[in-house]
Chain A
Amino acid sequence: MSSKMLLRGTPLTLTLWNPKIQHKLLQLRRLSSKTNCSSLQPPNVSHLAKTAHISLTPTEVEEFGPKIQQVIGWFGQLQGVDLQSIEPSIRADTENNLRDNTPEIFDHRDAIIASVPSYEEPYIKVPKVLNVD
Chain B
Amino acid sequence: MSYTMFRTFQVHPFLLYPTSILKRRNGFLYSTTIPKATQSSQTETKVSTSSQSKNLYKIPKDYEAVIGIETHVQLSTLTKAFCNCPYSYGSFPNSSICPVCMGLPGALPVLNNKVIEFAVKLGLALNCNLAFNSKFDRKQYFYPDLPKGYQISQFDVPIAASGFLDVDIPLEFGGGHKRFGITRVHMEEDAGKLMHTEKGNYSQVDLNRAGVPLLEIVSEPDMRNGIEAAEYAAEIQRLVRYLGVSNGNMQEGSLRCDVNVSVRPIGQSKFGTKVEVKNLNSFSSMSRAIDFEISRQVLLHSQGQEDQIVQETRLWEEGSQRTITMRKKEGLADYRYFPEPDLPSVILSQEYVDGIQTSLPELPEEKRRRYEKMGLGMQDVIFLANDKNIAEFFDATLAKGADAKSAANWIMSDIAAFMKNEKLTINDIKLTPEELSELIASIKGGIISGKIGKEILFELLAKGGSVKEIIEKKDLVQITDPVEIEKMVVKVIEENPKQLEQYRGGKTKLQGYFAGQVMKASKGKANPGLLNKILLEKLNSTT
Interface assignment of B296: CB less than 8 Å from any CB of chain A: no
* Prevailing SS type, chain A contact patch: loop
Interface assignment of A53: CB less than 8 Å from any CB of chain B: yes
- Point out the residue from A55, A97, A129 that lies within 8 Å of B203, measured CB to CB: A129
Interface assignment of B336: CB less than 8 Å from any CB of chain A: yes
Interface members, chain A 103-125 (any B CB < 8 Å): 103-109, 111-118, 120, 122-125
B333 touches A26 (CB 8 A): no
A103 touches B104 (CB 8 A): no
User: Min CB distance, B335 to chain A, in Å?
Assistant: 9
User: Min CB distance, B214 to chain A, in Å?
Assistant: 15
Known: A26-B338, A98-B113, A126-B202. A115 touches B133 (CB 8 A): no
- Point out the residue from A94, A99, A116, A129 that lies within 8 Å of B28, measured CB to CB: A129
Nearest CB in chain B to that of A10: its residue: B341
Interface assignment of A35: CB less than 8 Å from any CB of chain B: no
- Point out the residue from B36, B78, B93, B96 that lies within 8 Å of A130, measured CB to CB: B36
Complex Cα spacing A132 to B94, Å: 22
Known: A10-B341, A112-B99, A123-B94. A128 touches B201 (CB 8 A): yes
Known: A55-B26, A90-B133, A112-B102. A122 touches B92 (CB 8 A): yes
Nearest CB in chain B to that of A108: its residue: B11
Residues of A within 8 A of B13 (CB): 114-115
User: Min CB distance, B395 to chain A, in Å?
Assistant: 30
Complex Cα spacing A96 to B120, Å: 15
Complex Cα spacing A120 to B1, Å: 30
Known: A26-B341, A93-B345, A123-B206. A101 touches B112 (CB 8 A): yes
Residue-wise interface mask of A (4-20) relative to B, using a CB-CB cutoff of 8 A (1 in contact, 0 not)? 00000111000000000
- Point out the residue from B28, B97, B327 that lies within 8 Å of A112, measured CB to CB: B97
Residues of A within 8 A of B19 (CB): 117
Residues of A within 8 A of B336 (CB): 27, 51
B12 touches A104 (CB 8 A): no
Interface assignment of B388: CB less than 8 Å from any CB of chain A: no
- Point out the residue from B28, B205, B347 that lies within 8 Å of A123, measured CB to CB: B205
Complex Cα spacing A90 to B137, Å: 11
Interface assignment of A2: CB less than 8 Å from any CB of chain B: no
Known: A11-B342, A30-B338. A124 touches B94 (CB 8 A): yes
Interface assignment of A131: CB less than 8 Å from any CB of chain B: yes
Interface assignment of A133: CB less than 8 Å from any CB of chain B: yes
A131 touches B2 (CB 8 A): no
Interface assignment of B144: CB less than 8 Å from any CB of chain A: yes
Complex Cα spacing A120 to B205, Å: 10
- Point out the residue from B1, B111, B143, B339 that lies within 8 Å of A129, measured CB to CB: B143
Residues of A within 8 A of B143 (CB): 129, 132-133
Nearest CB in chain A to that of B110: its residue: A99
Residue-wise interface mask of A (27-46) relative to B, using a CB-CB cutoff of 8 A (1 in contact, 0 not)? 10110000000000000000
Tell me the count of chain B residues lying within 8 A, CB to CB, of chain A.
Answer: 78
Interface assignment of B407: CB less than 8 Å from any CB of chain A: no
Give chain A's interface residue range (CB within 8 Å of chain B): 35 or more
- Point out the residue from A103, A113, A115, A127 that lies within 8 Å of B202, measured CB to CB: A127
Nearest CB in chain A to that of B208: its residue: A122
Residues of A within 8 A of B56 (CB): none
User: Min CB distance, B515 to chain A, in Å?
Assistant: 64
Complex Cα spacing A130 to B205, Å: 13
Known: A90-B133, A102-B79, A132-B333. A122 touches B94 (CB 8 A): yes
Known: A91-B345, A102-B79, A115-B17. A124 touches B84 (CB 8 A): no
Complex Cα spacing A127 to B27, Å: 11
B202 touches A128 (CB 8 A): yes
Interface members, chain B 1-57 (any A CB < 8 Å): 1-2, 5, 11-14, 17, 19-22, 24-26, 28-30, 32-36
Nearest CB in chain A to that of B96: its residue: A105
Interface assignment of B426: CB less than 8 Å from any CB of chain A: no
Complex Cα spacing A59 to B102, Å: 35
B84 touches A90 (CB 8 A): no
A130 touches B113 (CB 8 A): no
B346 touches A96 (CB 8 A): yes
Interface assignment of A82: CB less than 8 Å from any CB of chain B: no
Interface assignment of B429: CB less than 8 Å from any CB of chain A: no
Complex Cα spacing A70 to B173, Å: 65
A103 touches B135 (CB 8 A): no
A106 touches B2 (CB 8 A): yes
Interface assignment of A87: CB less than 8 Å from any CB of chain B: no
B25 touches A55 (CB 8 A): yes
A9 touches B97 (CB 8 A): no
Interface assignment of B425: CB less than 8 Å from any CB of chain A: no
- Point out the residue from A98, A114, A118, A131 that lies within 8 Å of B30, measured CB to CB: A131
Interface assignment of B116: CB less than 8 Å from any CB of chain A: yes
User: Min CB distance, B256 to chain A, in Å?
Assistant: 16
Complex Cα spacing A124 to B21, Å: 11
Complex Cα spacing A122 to B77, Å: 25
Nearest CB in chain A to that of B347: its residue: A96
Complex A-B: 24 CB contacts under 8 Å: A30-B338, A96-B347, A97-B111, A97-B343, A98-B111, A98-B113, A99-B112, A102-B79, A103-B79, A108-B11, A115-B17, A116-B17, A117-B22, A124-B94, A124-B205, A125-B205, A126-B203, A127-B21, A127-B144, A128-B29, A129-B143, A129-B144, A130-B29, A133-B143
Q: Which residues of B contact A (CB under 8 A)?
A: 1-2, 5, 11-14, 17, 19-22, 24-26, 28-30, 32-36, 77-79, 84-86, 92-99, 102, 104, 110-114, 116, 133-135, 141-144, 157, 194-197, 200-207, 327, 333-334, 336, 338-339, 341-347
In addition to A51-B334, A98-B113, 11 A-B residue pairs with Cβ atoms within 8 Å of each other are A26-B338, A53-B26, A90-B135, A96-B346, A97-B344, A99-B84, A102-B79, A123-B94, A126-B205, A128-B203, A130-B30
7 A-B pairs closest in CB distance? A123-B204, A106-B98, A103-B86, A104-B84, A101-B114, A98-B113, A122-B93
